[in-house]
Amino acid sequence: MKVKTMPAPIPVSTRAANIEYAIRDVVVPAVALEAAGHEIIKLNIGDPIAYPGLPTPPHMVDAYAKALKQGHNGYSPSYGLPALREALARDEQRKGWPATPDDIYVCHGVTEALQLIFAAVLEEGTKVLAPGPHYPPYMAYPQMYGAETVEYQLHSTDQWKPDFSDIRAKMDDDVRLLVLINPNNPCGSVCGPDDIDALLAIARDFPNCIVVADEIYDGLDFTGEQVSVASRSTDVPVIALNGVSKVYYAPGWRIGYMALHDPQRRLTLVRDGLERLLRSRLCASTPAQMGYLAGLEGDRGWMEVYAQRVQQQRDHCLRRIQGIDGLEVEHPGGAFYMFIRLTDERWAADDKAFVLDLLHEEHVLLVHGSGFSPDLGKGHVRLVYLADVSVLDEVFDRIDRFLKKHRQG
């Protein structure tokens, strides 16, 4: 009897096959363990409402629900609801630069804003210069446009501050986007005015370069040093990124924005390209925009309460890490991440093995540092410290037990 052979698989594009997103990739084995009946403590994803005690503020939820009930379920303007653009412009003005509603473009989160910026600016042979380690889309998406992401170093033993000599050495006329994530994901580092001025001074020498300022965590700065990059620039074009996900605690709404600061009117063509792309993808969620607007226009006193809780949990984690042999960490100044250094030789050489073995043996899910940069994140793991203190204590107890067991073995 003739055996019927299956046809070969239809090829996938190289750009899709090369995409990695470590934060969610590690969920795949965790789901398999859950299916087998194991309970996993997940500290891998920066979703603030995945943890108790940090719900989306009720007045924002009410505004979203009201918009749905009142039938605001159709398309909205491609650049965002006018009232939201006006409120966001006022918010940026409070940060120290003369934003107008026309400078604000509402997107499906910061990730879509990045995709639009890359599509509008990058071409074959161009570069993005981004911090290493960094949020994975800064590495994943530029390749889709024939561009390359080059990493500049952060000082891993000095609060993950940018290495400006490395930035200067890697800048050239092909670098179209110079990225600052402030506060940083995954490191939690914060750049103050002097750091930002140094970055702008480098960008100033390259007339085709735009600074991308990812400021999605700006309301979670525990140093008092974080400032808007646009507020420091009198000549260098800046695209600021922000949104509702982290500081307003509504990541599933997928609403963010980009704000164009163009003090010398050099972004005319880029703006036109962005607007064409925005129109082609229709609009962001109308009711979600109305929920965000309520957050901007309502009382923000709750933000300080939430931030104090996050800071207390950070401080608790720092104390626990000090007592565990095999772990070290730079003091994070913002956001809600610990980028923990693995000092045991075995795990320092293979942080992904640490994450997977910890998951299978102790049922704790973190993210390997090399997933944020194969070279500059290696030997680290990222932990989200938003869980209750009792859960964090259980996690650190399990990590300590895991390290001791493998050190003895």
3-state helix, strand, coil in the chain (%, to 5): 45, 15, 40
Residues 6+ apart with CB under 8 A from 109: 243, 245, 251, 254, 255, 256
Query: Of 401, 233, 268, 225, whose CA–CA distance to 325 is shortest?
Result: 401
Are the beta carbons of 330 and 314 closer than 8 angstroms?
no
Output the pTM of the full model: 0.94
Q: For domain 14-54+301-408, say whether CATH 3.90.1150.10 is its number.
A: yes
> Burial level of 16, CB count in 10 A (0-12/13-18/19+)?
exposed
Written as one letter, the residue type at 178 is L
CA atoms of 45 and 136, how far apart (whole Å): 13
Residues 6+ apart with CB under 8 A from 370: 22, 351, 352, 377, 378, 379, 380
Strand-by-strand arrangement of the 380-384 sheet? 327-329, 337-342, 380-384, 367-368
199 φ, ψ (degrees, to nearest 5): -65, -45
pLDDT, tens digit, 9 for 90 and up, residues 242-291: 999 999 999 999 999 999 999 999 999 999 999 999 999 999 999 999 99
pLDDT, tens digit, 9 for 90 and up, residues 25-53: 888 999 999 999 999 999 998 899 889 88
SS3 116: helix
Q: State the angle between helix axes of 301-322 and 389-408 in degrees (0 to 180), rounded to the nearest 10.
A: 20
User: Per-domain residue ranges for the chain?
Assistant: 14-54+301-408, 74-297
pLDDT, tens digit, 9 for 90 and up, residues 100-151: 999 999 999 999 999 999 999 999 999 999 999 999 889 989 999 999 999 9
Q: For domain 74-297, say whether CATH 3.40.50.2300 is its number.
A: no
